[in-house]
Amino acid sequence: MTVTEITKRISESENADWFKSISVILKYPHLNEEITLKGATSIYRYVSNQAKGWSEFDEPLPNELLISKNYFETLRRSIANFIESHSKGINNNLDYYWNNDIQRKVNNPNGSVFNFDSPETEFLLKLFFQEQNLFTGAYNYIIGSINFNSKQSFLGAMLAYEFTQKNASEITKRRTAEKPSITRMKNDFELMLSEVDNQLITHLKDSSDKFQEYTKTIDEFKGNKEKLFNDWFINTKGDFKTFNSDSNTKIKDLENTYEELLRLKKPAAYWKDRATTLKAEGWKSTYILTALVVIACVTLYCLLWLTPEGMLASFLKGESSAIRWSVVYITFISFLAFGIRTLNKIAFSSFHLARDAEEREQLTHVYLALIKEEGIDEKDRHLIMQSLFSRADTGLLKEDSSPTMPSDFAGKLMNR
């Protein structure tokens, strides 16, 4: 893991304050150096830089210095695993796990540890690559394990002595004088890095919290808008379904009404024309009837008041001529009475049929209106259709009746 990933992981952790507060002291007694690091990010940065620095040496390192390389690499992996494992959720035993997993490795390295950028490391590596047989004596002298078991060990220790003692040469004096200052600068720099890391973690955590709050606000706003939209959509959908259903029903009713209108338009027009024709025939028969009545009255008047004297005498004498005229007159009056009676029945029958046709026309319009307003059921439809298409009583025949239509035929007519 990189330092950036470690910083982000800590800033998002609920234990961020604890990770910012932990500290370690790296002691290098053989180097007369002690480094204090505060904050998990600063500790990881320092260890990671040391591991990276040791890994950048191309030439093979001596086994004594491989201890330092392995130490920092192992410590880096341990810190990364610790942060990865304990940065999620709240853990009240972090001190225990830290001391058991990390602090124990810091305090108990498997040998003397050197920083890759320390002057002693540079001296030992240069001596190893130039005078490898003197390396062991110099290394033992620096770590405080002096053993002059050979000439090379002694010479290596002497070189290390000149390197470390201030009065050995002008160069070593300068290095010895500058070393405490450099050490303080390194410690101050590490402390400043720790403060910067903690500030960065605090800033990232605050930003993360604000971002989460802002995200939560957006999610709530989005949820409210989605709820409003869903409610509006559901209501609109319900209204649309109702409107669509009502519209389809009205359209269907209008189609039914239109179909009924098309079926009954011709009969209604026929009944209207038929009523007009029957009225004309009725008035015509009435006029002829009136004329016959006038003729009958005139002839009776003439017979009674204008009868010749000879005819009356023949009646009194019982002559055959009188009987003959009587038979002729009676026959004439009989035919005249029969014509008047027939014309009377024709006239009244015409007026009756005209009125019946008018009523059928009006009943047709009423029936269409009832269909439009849905104010008629199937039973009433059968009754109305039977009334519309039943036979009318003409009055010309004795005991003339008006039988109703068969129900099945009326049903077929309505369902066409």
Residue 27's pLDDT is 85
Return the pLDDT at 128.
87
Q: What does DSSP say about strands 33-38 and 23-28: parallel, antiparallel, or unpaired?
A: antiparallel
| Whole-number pLDDT of residue 189 | 61
Domain range summary for the chain, segments of one domain joined by + = 118-161, 268-414
User: Locate tokens 């890759």: which residue?
Assistant: 116
pLDDT at residue 92, rounded to an integer: 74
CA dihedral sign, ordered 321, 325, 330, 335: positive
pLDDT of residue 193: 63
Dihedral, 154, 155, 160, 161 alpha carbons, nearest 10: 70
pLDDT per residue, tens digit, the chain (416 aa), is 788 887 878 777 788 888 888 888 888 888 878 888 888 888 888 888 888 888 888 778 888 888 888 888 999 989 888 888 887 777 778 888 888 888 888 888 877 888 888 888 888 888 888 888 888 888 888 888 777 778 888 888 888 888 877 544 444 444 554 555 565 566 556 556 666 666 666 666 677 777 778 788 888 888 888 888 887 878 777 777 787 777 777 777 777 766 666 566 677 777 788 788 888 888 888 888 888 888 878 877 776 676 655 555 555 555 555 566 667 778 877 887 888 888 888 888 888 888 887 887 777 777 777 666 665 666 666 666 666 666 666 655 544 444 444 444 344 444 44
CA distances from 94 to 9, 48, 204, 221, 414 (A): 16, 22, 22, 38, 91
- Taking the whole predicted model, whether its pTM rises above 0.85 is answered as no
**CB of 101 within 8 A of CB of 27?**
no
Query: Would you state the pLDDT for residue 183?
Result: 59
Is residue 369 within 8 A of residue 382, CB to CB? The reply is no
Judge whether 352 and 393 are in contact, CB under 8 Å: yes
pLDDT score recorded for residue 258: 63
By three-state DSSP, how is residue 21 classified?
Answer: helix
What do you get for the CA distance between the two ends of the chain, in Å?
85
- What's the CA dihedral at 144, 148, 152, 155 to 10 degrees? 70
- Locate 100 and state its tokens: 């058991």
- Give dist(CA 361, CA 85) in Å, integer: 95
Exposed/middle/buried for 73, CB within 10 Å: 0-12, 13-18, 19+?
A: middle
The span from the CA of 73 to the CA of 59, in Å, is 18
What is each CA distance from 200 to 36, 193, 197, 255, 315, in whole angstroms?
19, 10, 5, 78, 156
Contacts of 361 (CB under 8 A, 6+ apart): 268, 271, 272, 275
Contacts of 267 (CB under 8 A, 6+ apart): 360, 364, 388, 389
Which one-letter DSSP state was computed for residue 393? Answer: P
Q: Can you say whether the dihedral through the CA atoms of 19, 22, 26, 32 is positive or negative?
A: positive
- Residue 242 has what pLDDT? 80
In residues, how long is the chain?
416
How high is the pLDDT of residue 111? 79
